[in-house]
Structure 1
Amino acid sequence: MRKVVMNKHNNLLQLEEHFYQLVDVDEPNTFRNLFPYEEIPKIAFNDRIVPHNMPDDIWITDTTFRDGQQSRAPYTTDQIVTIYDYLHKLGGPKGIIRQSEFFLYSKKDRDAVYKCMERGYKFPEVTSWIRASKQDFELVKDIGLRETGILVSCSDYHIFYKMKMTRREAMNHYLSVIRECLETGISPRCHLEDITRSDIYGFVIPFCVELMKLMDEYKIPIKVRACDTMGYGVNFPGAVIPRSVPGIIYGLTTHAGVPSELIEWHGHNDFYKAVTNSTTAWLYGACGVNCSLFGIGERTGNTPLEAMVFEYAQLKGTLDGMDTTVITDLVDYFEKDLDYTLPSRTPFAGKNFNVTRAGIHADGLLKNEEIYNIFDTEKFLKRPALVSISNTSGLAGIAHWINSYYRLPQERHLDKNSELVHKLKDWVDEQYDEGRVTVLTDNELVVKITECCKELGIIL
């Protein structure tokens, strides 16, 4: 008979959950009903709803130097240290950016780890990602790290097709490797690769139950990172597993007994859902979401770290000391020092994320910035709302551009009735009447405004 127990988080009585055992199979379960390779993947529903269960504390972990570095030219040691300094400042005194993971394969990687550790920051804690071998475990220990990531692929696609094993063979192999890690005193972080195509109750949950047994035996934390490797996860209530993010997190916490503080979500953006799925993981019981700066990562990228900073603030009602102006500092560093240009419309970071070209929007900005700006972007990102000047900008757009570019105090703001604004508008119209199709550059506008000011005897 199943026992009735008290859920300490929601103070409700519930039935003790069923114990799930490994389901060994002769043939891989590839969920062809959901993932027909010659068709677009399917999102199916069974309308089984699981409750929200957001932990009291949630945080961000960083993979800029691991997954993020797999999709671009490797960072130099000095570049890694500089970015790590920025992450420390961005995360604030409470360490909302809790950890950052590093490769240990090369001397350059290890040099970066040593230099970052020498900074003496409590947060982000330096962690590693290694091959699952005794030699690498000893390397982690010798360097002085207390935690490392280990790849434990969990879908039958990987177990059968890549590893050429059965589920039981894979589980036994993983558990032996994790035991070796624990024997060295290192805390393993198990990266459950391809979890959104895995048999959640036939493999993932039974495997995590065994991990919790090892944790009880060795008294060393074992983290579980749920990796949406292909971006198949969905946040919709009632969607079926393995694509359901709520269902996966609920299974890990309720059926496998993994504490929320030991669960991370690692998302990819193949279907434009990385941010939403990461937020959903928080809402349903994961304390950590794993991100990379500006989403730089494999294929379409990882969950952008800067996005989750603002998701955190929206969910918690506070930034908890995070310094969001550092995001703009990082953009400048990537563009000037790393020669990496972000797409111009990237939220919070792209050069045009709060720039409007539409005249009607510019008119609204001129009257009250709140009408068309998402929040005080100058306060939080050192990025005032701007307009670009084109054939659609109108008088209001030109007035707003002059006020913003020249940082005119409120009492000197020009409006759309200004003689200077009208003179500049006539010139802009001429440009496009003559066949121009591109936006006017700041330099072109400054040259023309200087000329017009001399004609009108105006000093800005």
Structure 2
Amino acid sequence: MENRKVYLDKHSNLLQLEEHMYPLVDVEKPNVFRNLFRYDEIPKIAFNDRIVPHSMPDEIWITDTTFRDGQQSRAPYSPEQIVKIYEYFHRLGGPKGKIRQCEFFLYSKKDRDAVYQCMEKGYEFPEITSWIRASKKDFELVKEIGMKETGILVSCSDYHIFYKLKMTRRECMEHYLSVVRECLETGVSPRCHLEDITRSDIYGFVIPFCLELMKLKEEYQIPVKVRVCDTMGYGVNYPGAVIPRSIPGIIYGIRVHAGVPSELIEFHGHNDFYKAVSNSSTAWLYGASGVNCSLFGIGERTGNTPLEAMVFEYAQLRGTLDNMDTAVITELAEYYEKEIGYTVPSRTPFVGRNFNVTRAGIHADGLLKNEEIYNVFDTDKFLNRPPLVAVSNTSGLAGIAHWINTYFHLPEGKQVDKNTEMVAMVKAWVDKEYEEGRMTVLTDEELLEVIEAARKRLGCELM
């Protein structure tokens, strides 16, 4: 105790006592946390009520894996599509580069062609990075293209170390460190992807490994990043939950006990248990500067943290968008639908066709009086998506009036309301449709035809 260093923590402004060193714990049998992860039972979330403090970094940002993890779960993008999406990311991230990096595969000629074309754009942000397995053969690809940084797969749970790699922890660590050292020898900054960290022995393998990485960082004077990969989505953000499932506990341990600075910590979440967004926000709150995302959450199995979600999480946590251009999100959704042939599920927040569409008549009435009542924020301002009302048997006069005003972009003074005769005529037709047994929402084309007939009958114009 007497020989442990006392230092001032720059975030809390409190004196801290240097923690004990954490040596590698080499074990003969794998620790697979069978008390938490019995395969024939639903995983358990246990608590020990050990709380770690918030430590939001001075600067936080988003990185993207659309062209890597996102591309593992769908048909490959063409080089032209990759370049176009990359241009969208550049615009979305704004002048401050809040979309900090994009990572790419390098294995096919098509992937490499896309990388070269994106490099030719000359953008500072998003920075172009790659991803490889921890093999010297893969590293040749990185050197050939001239990447400044590459991700390296360094699986860290005993599930992977013992069952997949067939190694001991010490053999595995030495193998990983040899690849990282080779990366550093040529001046390339490694980003170590700590795969399956939420089933790993945090203080028996992860922290000792990260301590060795920080030694290499000091030796070569080149940044060494760590990506905290919640590969199976087991992470939770509940205060007092035990590691390895506790995201606050993992981020705290890597930052404080392994000495990895916030700007070198990044979180990569999966959505198997619906927790990708909350875990990513939690990683920011407890000391990770970066969160790694995929556009629309497209990724392995249930997907990754949706990039568009973290844009709005950033704004909520920081009180500003820092000049991110959120209207680009809508352009991206339209591009995916029209050019790529991918339709975002209709109720997906911010991007789905129906994310700000209301069907209930009582809600439509409130929306007509004041859209703040039933719209999350000014979606027209931030996403070029004004709130809409779908017309059905529950829409009522107010819903039909709102649909007409919104669809035709009627200005003040020209807008209809539930007392307008045309609205009553349309409602009479709608009521008749459902009285005759209709079960579906009315289409825009049907409504336009009925409105046009009513307009002609009344001899009026809508504009």
What interval of TM-score do these two structures reach, taking the shorter chain for normalisation? over 0.9
In the alignment, what sits opposite 1:126? 128
Deviation at 1:15, TM superposition (A): 1.4
Q: Which residue of 2 aligns with 1:164?
A: 166
Distance across 2 between alignment mates of 1:312 and 1:126: 22
Alignment of 1:445 with 2:447, yes or no, is yes
Offset at residue 386 of structure 1 (A)? 0.2
Secondary structure at the residue paired with 2:133? coil
Q: Report Cα offsets for 1:244-263 as digits up to 9, x if no partner.
A: 00000000000000010000
Q: 1 CA distance for matches of 2:252 and 2:441?
A: 50
Q: Which amino acid aligns with 2:326?
A: T
How far, CA to CA, are the matches of 1:144 and 1:173 in structure 2? 23
Give runs of aligned pairs for residues 262-273 of structure 1, distance below 5 A: 262-273=264-275
Supply the distance in 2 between the matched residues of 1:315 and 1:251 (Cα, whole angstroms).
23
Shift of the alpha carbon at 1:213? 0.5
1:146 counterpart residue number: 148
| Match in the other structure for 2:237 | 235
Is the contact made by 2:396 and 2:427 (CA closer than 8 Å) also made in structure 1?
yes
Structure 1: unaligned runs, 5 residues or longer: none
Letter in 2 for 1:403: N
The CA deviation string for residues 418-457 of structure 1, in whole angstroms up to 9 with x for no partner, is 1111111111010011010010000000000000111111
SS of residue paired to 2:167: coil
Please give the alpha-carbon distance, in whole angstroms, between the structure 2 residues aligned to 1:411 and 1:326.
Answer: 31
* Structure 1 residue identity aligned to 2:44: K
Amino acid at match of 2:10: K
Percent identity over the alignment?
79
Write the mapping of 1:270-309 to structure 2, written as runs, cut at 5 A: 270-309=272-311
Separation in structure 1 between the aligned mates of residue 314 and residue 48 of structure 2, nearest angstrom: 30
Alpha-carbon offset, residue 334 of structure 1: 0.2
1:417 to partner: Cα distance:
1.1
The residue identity in structure 1 corresponding to 2:206 is: V
2:46 maps to 1:44: yes
Corresponding pairs, count? 460
Cα distance in 2 for partners of 1:287, 1:350 equals 28
TM-score, normalization: structure 1? Answer: 0.99
TM-score by length of 2: 0.98
Code of the residue aligned with 1:142 in structure 2: it is: E
Give, in angstroms, the shift of residue 4 of structure 1.
2.5
Question: 2:353: which partner in 1?
Answer: 351
Cα drift, residue 145 of structure 1? 1.2
Match of 1:456?
A: 458
Distance 2:38 2:138 in 1: 38
The aligned counterpart of 2:219 is 217
* Residue 182 (structure 1) aligned to one of 178, 181, 184: 184
Q: Tell me if structure 1 keeps the 8 A contact 2:134–2:154.
A: no
Distance in 2, Cα, partners of 1:137 & 1:3: 39
Return the offset for 1:36. Answer: 1.1
- Alignment partner, residue 206 of structure 1: 208
What's the CA shift string for 1:59-106, capped at 9, x where partnerless? 000000000000000000000000000000000000000000000001
- 2:301 and 2:26 map into 1 onto residues whose CA distance is 32
Code of the residue aligned with 1:273 in structure 2: it is K
Q: Give secondary structure in 1 for the equivalent of 2:217.
A: helix
- Compute the displacement of 1:139 (Å): 2.7
Q: In structure 2, what is the Cα distance between the partners aligned to 1:283 and 1:339?
A: 36
Deviation at 1:133, TM superposition (A): 2.9
1:248 equivalent to 2:244? Answer no
- Name the SS of the counterpart of 2:242 in structure 1: coil
> SS where residue 311 of structure 2 aligns?
helix
Give 2:434's aligned residue: 432
In the TM superposition, residue 150 of structure 1 has moved relative to its aligned partner by 0.5
What is the deviation of 1:48?
A: 0.5
In 2: Cα distance, 1:24 partner to 1:179 partner: 22
Task: Report the residue type matching 2:194 in the other structure.
Answer: L
* 1:375 and 2:377 are equivalent in the alignment: yes
Q: Does the 8 Å contact 1:134/1:181 carry over to 2?
A: no
Secondary structure in structure 1 of the residue aligned to 2:340: coil
SS of the aligned residue for 1:412 comes to coil
User: In structure 2, which of residues 20, 23, 27 is the aligned counterpart of residue 25 of structure 1?
Assistant: 27
1:138/1:184 contact within 8 Å kept: no
Match of 2:79 among 73, 77, 80: 77
The answer (yes or no) to whether the contact 1:390–1:439 under 8 Å persists in 2 is yes
Moved over 4 A (4+): none
Deviation of the 1:141 alpha carbon: 2.5
In the other structure, the counterpart of 2:363 is 361
* Deviation for aligned residue 1:142: 2.9
Taking the aligned partners of 1:114 and 1:325, their CA distance within structure 2 comes to: 27
Aligned to 2:317: 315
Which amino acid counterpart does residue 272 of structure 2 have in structure 1?
Answer: D
Of 327, 332, 338, 1:330 maps to 332
Match of 1:414 in 2: 416
Paired residue secondary structure (2:227):
strand
**Which amino acid is 2:229 matched to?**
C
SS of corresponding position for 1:10: coil
Structure 2: state its 5+ residue gaps: none
Partners of 2:53 and 2:347 in 1: how far apart?
A: 35
SS of the counterpart of 1:130?
strand
Aligned to 2:65: 63
- Distance between the aligned counterparts of 2:116 and 2:414, measured in 1? 53
The two structures, once aligned, show a CA RMSD in angstroms of: 0.8
Alpha-carbon distance in structure 1 between the residues aligned to 2:334 and 2:288: 32
